[in-house]
């Protein structure tokens, strides 16, 4: 049945947590350059991908559903450093100066608001541009006011909030995360050991009716308390962790092995990365958060309980090493030990020299645009269909996450078809 989707009228404010970071400044620069005709939005599903309609006609996704036009986006956000977006992008050294200069004035106009920050959650960062709040609840109130003020000052009809900041330390789900009442009490009691800064951003966004997208593997909106709150406020939430490099490869290769019924005995993955994210992940407590996210992929795809002869004893190891000379140019190595007919062993080695922020930027943009679409379509809670973009797809306790990239892509298209009352085409017709 066709859904009623409100038109994408007016301006969409995109507030980024970590607006001065490499991913954020790369996304913003590329978006601004694309709408001025200075660049192409390569890698963006929302801008370039097509889908087949019920009558077998191919159409651009942006012509199928009413997405916000890039020219109607206004960028802002928070950061622990006061540099404007141009200065921050120069520091990140992802994009060349000539590409930044094409939108220099627009970037210089994006000045971050002081961030909600707690050094204990990212010990390798020492921010100076931070809020002063006596409690986590006070932190939330200040963030809510920021959202309201930005919306008014920039004449925005809607706002979406995106976390593109560093990975916080690992914490397990606790009682304080299991209900909205418990979460709010912990915020008011200033329980800083279980309430992270990212949770404050998420709560503030949902409270203000703005979709929240978690681009890191933090425990944040993937809790019963946040699910309850997002449904109460009729707001979509999505995440977590941008699926950009090594894990993207895993979600392609692992389904291939499983489809061909080839066994896997071991999968060793290591990375070198030199940007601010790499520095933060050099702390074992922060790396633990990322490790849990990256390790979850293979087990879910392989279903070892169903195929014990093929995947019942896979040795899976993940490493991330901070290596400053590489900056944002990450290098990932994978050694995969597989076996085939009669148990004979084979090896696959993948060496991916990728640009971390170049891969993540279009994902961030797509998550914002699709989350805004979901809001206008009256969708709330976990947006399972956006798993395609996420390394560790959010899910409730009753469902398993879907990691197979091709199944995830089908979920995206099927959701979009459902929005407009279309059926999947008959490819054999």
Token representation of residue 313:
């004893």
Nearest to 64 by CA among 46, 41, 90, 83: 46
Q: How far apart are the C-alpha atoms of 339 and 69, rounded to whole Å?
A: 48
- Identify the burial level of 58 via C-beta atoms within 10 angstroms of its C-beta, where 0-12 means exposed, 13-18 middle and 19 or more buried: exposed
Q: How far apart are the C-alpha atoms of 218 and 399, rounded to whole Å?
A: 20
Q: Is 169 left (phi over 0), alpha (psi -120 to 50) or beta?
A: beta
Q: What is the pLDDT of residue 277?
A: 77
Nearest to 371 by CA among 262, 209, 244: 209
Token representation of residue 427:
């490819």
Q: Express each pLDDT in 377-398 by its tens digit.
A: 999 999 999 999 999 999 888 8
Q: Is 370 left (phi over 0), alpha (psi -120 to 50) or beta?
A: alpha
Q: What is the pLDDT of residue 398?
A: 86
Q: How far apart are the C-alpha atoms of 160 and 162, rounded to whole Å?
A: 7
Domain ranges of the chain: 11-242+358-419, 246-355
Q: What is the pLDDT of residue 425?
A: 87
Q: What is the pLDDT of residue 428?
A: 64
Residues 6+ apart with CB under 8 A from 395: 222, 382, 384, 401
Paired sense of beta strands 73-79 and 113-114, if any: parallel
Name residues of the chain where pLDDT drops below 70. 1, 294, 428-429
CATH code, residues 11-242+358-419: 3.40.50.720
> What's the sign of the alpha-carbon dihedral 254, 258, 262, 265?
positive
Cα 333 to Cα 31, 267, 272, 321, 348: the distances in Å are 30, 10, 9, 12, 11
pTM: 0.94
CATH code, residues 246-355: 3.30.360.10
CA atoms within a 13 Å half-sphere pointing along the CA-CB vector of 195: 26
Q: What is the pLDDT of residue 294?
A: 66
Paired sense of beta strands 329-339 and 113-114, if any: unpaired
Q: What is the pLDDT of residue 279?
A: 80
Token representation of residue 389:
């973009």
Residues 6+ apart with CB under 8 A from 256: none
Q: What is the pLDDT of residue 418?
A: 94
Q: Express each pLDDT in 258-290 by its tens digit.
A: 999 999 999 999 999 887 777 887 788 787 877
Q: What is the pLDDT of residue 289?
A: 75
Q: 167 near 277, Cβ under 8 Å?
A: yes
CA atoms within a 13 Å half-sphere pointing along the CA-CB vector of 233: 23
Q: Express each pLDDT in 19-56 by its tens digit.
A: 999 999 999 999 999 999 999 999 999 999 999 999 99
Q: How far apart are the C-alpha atoms of 219 and 173, rounded to whole Å?
A: 8
The residues that bridge with 50 in the sheet, in sequence order, are 60
Q: What is the pLDDT of residue 381?
A: 97
Q: What is the pLDDT of residue 206?
A: 98
Q: What is the pLDDT of residue 286?
A: 84
């Amino acid at each position: 049945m066709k859904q009623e989707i409100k038109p994408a009228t007016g301006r969409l404010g995109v507030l980024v947590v970590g607006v001065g970071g490499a991913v954020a400044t790369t996304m913003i620069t590329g978006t601004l350059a694309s709408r001025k005709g200075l660049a192409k939005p390569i890698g963006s599903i929302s801008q370039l991908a097509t889908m087949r309609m019920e009558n077998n006609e191919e159409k651009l996704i942006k012509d199928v559903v009413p997405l916000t036009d890039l020219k109607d986006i206004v960028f802002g956000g928070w950061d622990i450093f006061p540099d404007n977006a141009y200065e921050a992008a120069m520091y990140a050294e992802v994009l060349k100066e000539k590409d930044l200069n094409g939108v220099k004035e627009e970037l210089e106009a994006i000045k971050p608001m002081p961030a909600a920050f707690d050094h204990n959650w990212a010990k390798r960062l020492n921010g100076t541009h931070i809020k002063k709040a006596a409690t986590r609840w006070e932190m939330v109130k200040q963030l809510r006011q920021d959202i309201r003020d930005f919306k008014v000052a920039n004449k925005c009809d809607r706002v979406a909030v995106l976390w593109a900041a560093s990975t916080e330390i690992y914490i397990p789900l606790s009682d304080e995360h299991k209900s909205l009442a418990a979460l709010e009490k912990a915020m008011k009691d200033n329980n800083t050991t279980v309430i992270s800064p990212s949770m404050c951003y998420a709560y503030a966004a949902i409270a203000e009716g703005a979709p929240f997208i978690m681009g890191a593997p933090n425990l944040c909106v993937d809790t019963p308390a946040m699910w309850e709150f997002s449904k109460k406020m009729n707001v979509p939430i999505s995440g977590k962790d941008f699926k950009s490099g090594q894990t993207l490869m895993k979600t392609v290769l692992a389904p291939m092995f499983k489809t061909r019924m080839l066994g896997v005995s071991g999968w060793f993955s290591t990375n070198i990365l030199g940007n601010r994210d790499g520095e933060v992940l050099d702390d074992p407590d922060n790396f633990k958060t990322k490790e849990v996210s990256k390790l979850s992929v293979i087990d879910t795809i392989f279903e070892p309980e169903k195929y014990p002869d093929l995947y019942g004893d896979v040795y899976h190891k993940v490493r991330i090493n901070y290596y400053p000379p590489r900056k944002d140019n990450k290098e990932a190595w994978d050694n995969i030990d597989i076996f085939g007919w009669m148990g004979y062993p084979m090896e696959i080695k993948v060496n991916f020299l990728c640009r971390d922020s170049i891969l993540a930027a279009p994902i961030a943009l797509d998550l914002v645009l699709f989350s805004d679409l979901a809001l206008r379509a009256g969708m709330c809670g976990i947006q399972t269909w956006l798993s395609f973009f996420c390394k560790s797809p959010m899910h409730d306790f009753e469902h398993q996450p879907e990691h197979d990239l091709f199944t995830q892509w089908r979920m995206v298209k099927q959701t979009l078809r459902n929005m407009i009352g279309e059926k999947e085409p008959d490819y054999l017709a």
